[in-house]
Chains A and B, each alone.
Chain A
Amino acid sequence: MSVRRVLVTGVSTYWGGRLAQALERDPDVEVIVGVSPDDPTCELTRTEYVRVGTQHALLKRIVHAADIDTVVDTRLIVDSPAASPRAAHENNVIGTMNVLAACGGAESPVRKVVVKSSAHYYGCERDDPAYFTEDMPRPHPPRTPIEEDIVEAERAVDAFAHRNPEVTVTILRFANALGPDIETSHSALLALPAVPAILGFDPRYQFIHEDDISGVLEHATREDLPGVYNAAGDGVLALSEIASLLGKPLAPILPPWGTGLAAAALRRAGVKLPPEVLQQLRYGRGLDNRRLKAAGYAFRATTRETVQAFAEHLRVRGLRPAQGEAYQYERDVEEFLRWSPAVRGEDRLGLERLSRDQLAELARALESLPRAARLAPRGRSGSATLRTGSPSSAGGAPDAKLAADP
């Protein structure tokens, strides 16, 4: 199935933002619509951003109006400190319900739905297998609100897949994410001067690099991957190994009994220790990522390489601007850059995205036109799809200029 008109939910999250950026580079993707309750946090050149409420109630109208064929849902909150339990539930359960409602129905143009989920779906327990495969149901009922949300959201997606067999439905269960630009409970823990641990436990950990997050989402968007897939870097490290890769001591400050009480005290001191992280610090978790590899995805980083890259980032952290400061979304500026006739440059036509052969063909077509037609003002006469060019890369495509001005 060709992917031409994509809607990305949660475009303000790291996941959604990176995916939209990746899709923007692909000339075959005609339209990218990003929706989110919050402003985008990274620079987007041709993605159309629409602010929606947390419940995504009006999404159906957007999907139909823009004739969306692929919906990528990166909106799920999987890290509990990121939102209050109530807000997380609203987003994760009610939001998922509405997103799916927008995609379903007889007249729906949607042919593919990709949902970002989390390995928290499996939980962490004593009697877990060392590697969860996608077919293994959760062995115990969820323990924390965030796990409950994830299980419930997945159940809704599953039911949707059954009701709409003509739609390709992909669920991606991501391991804990780690990278310079992404902030999670785990990146906060590993950035502490010592790596906190529970006395007497050395859990197994698996991470996914932030580049693989967007890579996997993009792969699932382009290819048809029906079903559930685990997304995690190769290799499972012991926490002690992670500490030594980071060059930090392992600090078993949490007692094996009464861990919850000690964690509550640490929370007062400002250390983020949500319950699902405590479970991981005790029992650890591993995912079998082979189904995704067999489906053609090649991971760019192993778990070990991910931790090493994170260690490098921690060493130079103070020298680089933080992610939040680098970009500020300003609606009026974006509107101006996209739609104002005053903005100049051939790149507004999107020519820098064409290949050399395509440019040559376009030049020949222009040659064959009557001279008068060629001199017509360009800014206003372009069609809607041609007007979604990138203003930020003016002058970045000399070939495009040469070929377009014969």
Chain B
Amino acid sequence: MSARPALPPATRSEDLRDHLPAIEPDRTVTDWGRSERVEGLVDATLSAFLYHYWFRCEVEGIEHVPATGGALLVSNHAGALPPDASMIAKAIQEEHPRPRKLHLTVDTFFKGYPFFSMLVAKIGGVPAHPANVHRLLYDEQQLVLVFPEGAKATAKLYKDRYKLRRFGRGGFVEAAMRAGVPIVPIAVVGAEEAMPTFAHIGALKRLTGLIYFPITPLFPHLGLLGASYLPAKFKLRFLEPVRTDDLGAESWDDKGLVQEVADDVRARIQDELVDMLAKRRSVWLG
């Protein structure tokens, strides 16, 4: 299909942002499938409990999250069932002077897996597709959180904790450049210890069709109870934003520059993690 000759292009000179659908006030579900009701329920119960009492989150640098306009949040990622995304979302809700909704890009695997498919969309997950990220950042001027390491990070074993994996192919930088929005790096400490993976069982992975089937301190021997977290102390540090709108026109076509920015963001998060870990005295008490 890639060799398909294109029809004469329609006029796309004008900004299509003006033609976004109007918000229908009677609806409680957004066009992305995000449900106010389900999200509110999860936020008020599970997220609030984990944030305040279980992980006792400490937040630094929340002012680096812009109060208006689109921004791409980039974080390290960990845990067999990673809790870091909901803690970052909750941190913005709790600490930011102008709380904003956060959209989280999620591996498209989850869109194809029953129940995950329903739940993930309802609490603000969006399938990780460049077009989705662009629409959110550029057209809708939203906050989007990405984990460039992807499943490589959540599948990694406990012995490799806090060693950042490869940052994809720099697609997140390209997305931010196209939308002209800043990148806000985030370093999260604690998620690695909340649900560490010691080994993988390949046969059960294939049987269930999941992306991995881990052995954690509580799973699978405790069954569904094994999906609970250990009470590690969480620290979230939002770093100074990286501007992408001053890199010149069509900077996203410059693959070298894209890689350079991606490596820079990765290095900053890694340095910050090392700094935070050096100061941490206890995994559980911080």
- Footprint of B on A, CB under 8 Å? 126-131, 133-138, 141, 155, 158-159, 161-162, 165, 169, 171, 198-202, 204, 225-229, 234-238, 240-241, 256, 282-283, 286, 288, 290-291, 293-295, 302, 304
> Is there a chain A Cβ closer than 8 Å to B62's Cβ?
no
> Is there a chain A Cβ closer than 8 Å to B20's Cβ?
yes
Chain A residue numbers with a CB within 8 Å of B117 are: 200-202
Q: Is the CB of A127 within 8 A of B135?
A: no
8 interchain residue pairs of minimum CB distance: A200-B114, A234-B21, A256-B114, A126-B112, A227-B10, A129-B131, A290-B19, A200-B115
Q: Is the CB of B129 within 8 A of A128?
A: yes
A201 touches which one: B12, B14, B118 (CB < 8 A)?
Answer: B118
Q: Is the CB of A136 within 8 A of B10?
A: no
The complex places the Cα of A165 from the Cα of B11 at a distance, in Å, of: 16
Q: Is the CB of B129 within 8 A of A286?
A: no
What 0/1 readout, one digit per residue, does chain B (1-40) give for beta carbons within 8 Å of chain A?
A: 1101111111110101001111010110101110100000
- Most chain A CB within 10 A, of B11, B32, B114, B126, is at B114
| Known contacts A129-B130, A200-B118, A256-B114, then 13 further A-B pairs from the complex at CB < 8 Å, ordered by chain A residue | A126-B112, A127-B111, A129-B129, A129-B132, A130-B32, A133-B131, A171-B7, A202-B121, A234-B22, A238-B33, A238-B121, A294-B11, A304-B27
Q: Is the CB of A159 within 8 A of B16?
A: no
Shortest distance from the beta carbon of B9 to any chain A beta carbon, whole Å: 6
Chain B residue numbers with a CB within 8 Å of A226 are: 7-8, 10
Q: Is the CB of A235 within 8 A of B24?
A: yes
Q: Is the CB of B29 within 8 A of A237?
A: yes
Chain A residue numbers with a CB within 8 Å of B132 are: 129-131
A294-B19 contact given A130-B132, A226-B7, A227-B8, CB 8 Å threshold: yes
Q: Is the CB of A131 within 8 A of B12?
A: no
Q: Is the CB of A235 within 8 A of B114?
A: no
Chain A residue numbers with a CB within 8 Å of B5 are: 158-159, 162
Shortest distance from the beta carbon of B16 to any chain A beta carbon, whole Å: 4
Q: Which residue of B lies closest to A236 (CB)?
A: B31
The complex places the Cα of A294 from the Cα of B32 at a distance, in Å, of: 22
> Is there a chain A Cβ closer than 8 Å to B108's Cβ?
yes
A291-B16 contact given A128-B129, A200-B114, A201-B114, CB 8 Å threshold: yes
Chain A residue numbers with a CB within 8 Å of B4 are: 137, 155, 158
Q: Which residue of A lies closest to B27 (CB)?
A: A304
Chain A residue numbers with a CB within 8 Å of B53 are: none
The complex places the Cα of A256 from the Cα of B114 at a distance, in Å, of: 6
Question: What are 19 pairs between A and B in contact, CB < 8 Å?
Answer: A129-B131, A130-B129, A130-B135, A155-B4, A158-B6, A200-B113, A226-B10, A235-B31, A236-B33, A240-B29, A241-B29, A290-B16, A290-B20, A291-B10, A294-B11, A294-B16, A295-B10, A302-B21, A302-B24
Q: Which residue of B lies closest to A206 (CB)?
A: B31
The complex places the Cα of A200 from the Cα of B32 at a distance, in Å, of: 17
Chain B residue numbers with a CB within 8 Å of A202 are: 33, 117-118, 121-122
Chain A residue numbers with a CB within 8 Å of B126 are: 130
Q: Is the CB of A131 within 8 A of B21?
A: no
- Most chain B CB within 10 A, of A137, A138, A155, A235, is at A235
Per DSSP, chain A at the interface is loop
Q: Which residue of B lies closest to A134 (CB)?
A: B10
The complex places the Cα of A129 from the Cα of B121 at a distance, in Å, of: 13
Q: Is the CB of B131 within 8 A of A131?
A: yes
Chain B residue numbers with a CB within 8 Å of A128 are: 127, 129
Shortest distance from the beta carbon of A81 to any chain B beta carbon, whole Å: 26
Chain A residue numbers with a CB within 8 Å of B131 are: 129-131, 133, 136
Q: Which residue of A lies closest to B35 (CB)?
A: A238
The complex places the Cα of A129 from the Cα of B132 at a distance, in Å, of: 6
> Is there a chain A Cβ closer than 8 Å to B198's Cβ?
no
Shortest distance from the beta carbon of A202 to any chain B beta carbon, whole Å: 5
Q: Which residue of A lies closest to B131 (CB)?
A: A129
B114 touches which one: A162, A165, A198, A234 (CB < 8 A)?
Answer: A198
The complex places the Cα of A293 from the Cα of B122 at a distance, in Å, of: 28
> Is there a chain A Cβ closer than 8 Å to B109's Cβ?
yes
Interface residues of B in 20-76 (CB under 8 A from A): 20-22, 24, 26-27, 29, 31-33, 35
Q: Which residue of B lies closest to A257 (CB)?
A: B114
Shortest distance from the beta carbon of A238 to any chain B beta carbon, whole Å: 5
The complex places the Cα of A295 from the Cα of B16 at a distance, in Å, of: 11
Shortest distance from the beta carbon of B118 to any chain A beta carbon, whole Å: 5
Shortest distance from the beta carbon of B280 to any chain A beta carbon, whole Å: 38
The complex places the Cα of A165 from the Cα of B31 at a distance, in Å, of: 38
Chain B residue numbers with a CB within 8 Å of A293 are: 19
The complex places the Cα of A278 from the Cα of B20 at a distance, in Å, of: 29
The complex places the Cα of A137 from the Cα of B122 at a distance, in Å, of: 28
Chain A residue numbers with a CB within 8 Å of B8 are: 161, 165, 226-227
The complex places the Cα of A51 from the Cα of B2 at a distance, in Å, of: 39
Chain A residue numbers with a CB within 8 Å of B14 are: 294
Q: Is the CB of B129 within 8 A of A127?
A: yes
The complex places the Cα of A169 from the Cα of B10 at a distance, in Å, of: 11
Q: Which residue of B lies closest to A131 (CB)?
A: B135
Q: Which residue of A lies closest to B108 (CB)?
A: A127
Q: Is the CB of B111 within 8 A of A286?
A: no
Chain B residue numbers with a CB within 8 Å of A282 are: 112
Chain B residue numbers with a CB within 8 Å of A225 are: 10
The complex places the Cα of A316 from the Cα of B36 at a distance, in Å, of: 32
Shortest distance from the beta carbon of A309 to any chain B beta carbon, whole Å: 15
Chain B residue numbers with a CB within 8 Å of A290 are: 16, 19-20
The complex places the Cα of A133 from the Cα of B131 at a distance, in Å, of: 9
Chain A residue numbers with a CB within 8 Å of B9 are: 135, 227
